[in-house]
């Protein structure tokens, strides 16, 4: 369940209170019970191995989190690459460190490359199938190779049942074709579609379908070609039309483009912020934070681990509204979640960059605050576990002093709050 805005803050506060109450109960329990000598070497070894695994987990997660936050404090937003003005119509891929200099590239996409498409007859999906019953065999010739497929039409099968059986047989054959059954929920009409996985006018991309025994092909109408295969047609910088049998073309100087849709206006490729890189860094930050928080919050019997979980939550609660504004919210377990649409808007209006980079060189702000905590964990992860070497305490009542190693270098209040 995702929560955001005011709900996100309330949810985090509730989770924080739960952790806080749990820590108090744990402290009271540990201070009031007797610590008895432990002579079982296996218990000591087990505790030590669990602690070592926890230390390894938080060190790895915090190191990754620190690296992501350092990148988000400025470098990620300063990185430039060649970007598309219309990613829905054309995406851009860059190889090398100096793509296309600083000049812009204009690309007009008149037509994208497509594969052959066969669309069958529109049939009332729930009506009883009136074609031949029993085993129906049909042949598909694709890429110069003929494959025979079969389906079993049972009494009582509907039109859609038979269409789906044919689609399953084609998809399971692995012959470079994709079959689907499209159903209109309003009219209850269904249609079998078969499309080549390969695009372009190459003869090897053509296919044909015919009945061998039975009439399933003729009855469903899937032998009819509704779209011939076609090449991509495009123009660069207003030049002459160029033809490509693939939707991925080389624009020169280490820049390639992949066509997704034809356009009325030219798509501009220019040097700009590398949003894909920034998105990747944010996703890494989210994964790392969630791993670190889960390791700490999940170590319920260790008050220092619980203290770390609470400190992480203190940061996220303080900035929960601003995080929500850029598409980062929290679920009921305190883990970060990302709303891609909201994050895209935050990239467009500059809110994401301002949030991560403003105050990055000061002592306040989300990025520096969380960075200090993650750096502290990665620098000395053993300080965030109460008993890192599996040490056993001998304590019998309040008459004997509590070992200083029980509390570490600070007071109990440091860890409770």
- Calpha distance 160→177 (Å, rounded): 20
Q: What is the DSSP string of 135-182?
A: EEEEEEEETTEEEEEEEEE-TT-BHHHHHHHHHHHHHHHTSSEEEEEE
Q: What pairs with residue 328 in β-bridges?
A: 338
Q: Which CATH code, of 2.60.40, 1.20.120, 1.20.1070, 1.20.1740, is assigned to 117-227? A: 2.60.40
Neighbours of 66 (CB within 10 A): 22
Is 371 strand, coil or helix? helix
pLDDT for the residue numbered 360: 61
Q: Please tell me what DSSP assigns to residue 129.
A: P
Residues contacting 258, CB < 8 A, separation 6+:
90, 91, 92, 93, 247, 248
Q: Minimal CA–CA distance to 334: which of 342, 323, 344, 345?
A: 323
All CATH 2.60.40 domain ranges of the chain, comma separated, are 117-227
pLDDT at 52: 84
Extract the tokens encoding 166.
């044919």
pLDDT by residue for the chain (417 residues), tens digit each?
Answer: 344 455 555 555 566 555 545 444 444 344 333 333 344 444 444 446 778 888 989 999 999 999 999 989 888 777 767 788 888 999 988 775 555 554 688 999 999 999 999 999 999 999 999 999 999 999 999 988 999 999 999 999 999 999 999 999 999 999 999 999 999 999 999 999 999 999 999 998 999 999 999 999 999 999 999 999 999 999 999 999 999 999 999 988 788 999 999 999 999 988 777 777 888 899 999 999 999 999 999 888 888 999 999 999 999 899 999 999 999 999 888 899 999 889 988 888 888 888 888 766 566 789 999 999 999 999 999 889 886 544 333 323 333 333 333 333 333 323 332
User: What confidence tens digit (pLDDT) does each residue in 286-319 have?
Assistant: 999 999 999 999 888 888 999 999 999 999 899 9
Q: What angle do CA 114, 115, 118 make, to 5 degrees?
A: 125
Are 90 and 267 contacting, i.e. CB atoms less than 8 angstroms apart? yes
SS3 40: coil
């Amino acid at each position: 369940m995702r929560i955001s805005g005011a709900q996100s803050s309330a949810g985090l506060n509730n989770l924080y209170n739960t952790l806080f109450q749990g820590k108090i109960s744990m402290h009271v329990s540990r201070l009031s019970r007797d610590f008895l000598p432990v002579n079982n070497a296996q218990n000591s070894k087990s505790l030590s191995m669990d602690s070592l695994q926890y230390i390894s987990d938080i060190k790895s997660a915090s190191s990754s989190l620190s690296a992501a936050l350092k990148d988000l404090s400025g470098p990620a937003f300063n990185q430039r690459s060649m970007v598309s003005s219309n990613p829905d119509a054309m995406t851009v891929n860059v190889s090398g460190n100096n793509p296309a200099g600083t000049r812009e590239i204009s690309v007009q996409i008149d037509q994208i490359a497509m594969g052959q498409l066969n669309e069958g007859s529109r049939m009332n999906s729930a009506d009883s199938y009136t074609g031949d019953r029993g085993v129906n065999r049909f042949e598909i010739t694709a890429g110069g190779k003929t494959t025979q497929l079969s389906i079993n039409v049972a009494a009582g099968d509907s039109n859609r049942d038979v269409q789906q059986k044919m689609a399953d047989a084609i998809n399971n054959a692995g012959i470079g074709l994709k079959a689907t059954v499209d159903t209109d929920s309003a009219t209850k009409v269904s249609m079998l579609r078969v499309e080549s996985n390969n695009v372009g006018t190459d003869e090897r991309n053509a296919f044909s379908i015919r009945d061998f025994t039975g009439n399933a092909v003729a009855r469903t109408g899937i032998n009819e070609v509704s779209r011939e295969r076609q090449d991509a047609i495009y123009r660069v910088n207003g030049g002459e039309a160029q033809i490509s049998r693939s939707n991925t073309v080389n624009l020169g100087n280490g820049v390639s483009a992949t066509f997704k849709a034809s356009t009325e206006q030219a798509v501009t490729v220019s040097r700009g912020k590398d949003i894909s890189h920034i998105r990747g860094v944010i996703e890494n930050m989210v994964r790392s934070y969630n791993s670190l928080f889960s390791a700490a919050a999940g170590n319920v019997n260790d008050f220092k681990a619980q203290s770390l979980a609470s400190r992480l939550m203190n940061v996220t609660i303080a900035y929960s509204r601003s995080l929500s504004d850029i598409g980062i919210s929290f679920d009921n377990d305190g883990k970060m979640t990302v709303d891609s649409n909201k994050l895209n808007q935050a990239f467009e209006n500059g809110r994401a960059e301002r949030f991560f980079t403003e105050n990055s060189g000061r002592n306040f702000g989300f990025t520096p605050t969380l960075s200090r905590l993650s750096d502290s964990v990665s620098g000395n992860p053993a300080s965030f576990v109460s008993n890192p070497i599996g040490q056993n305490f001998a304590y019998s009542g309040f008459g004997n002093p509590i070992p200083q190693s029980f509390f570490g270098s600070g007071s109990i209040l440091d860890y409770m709050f």
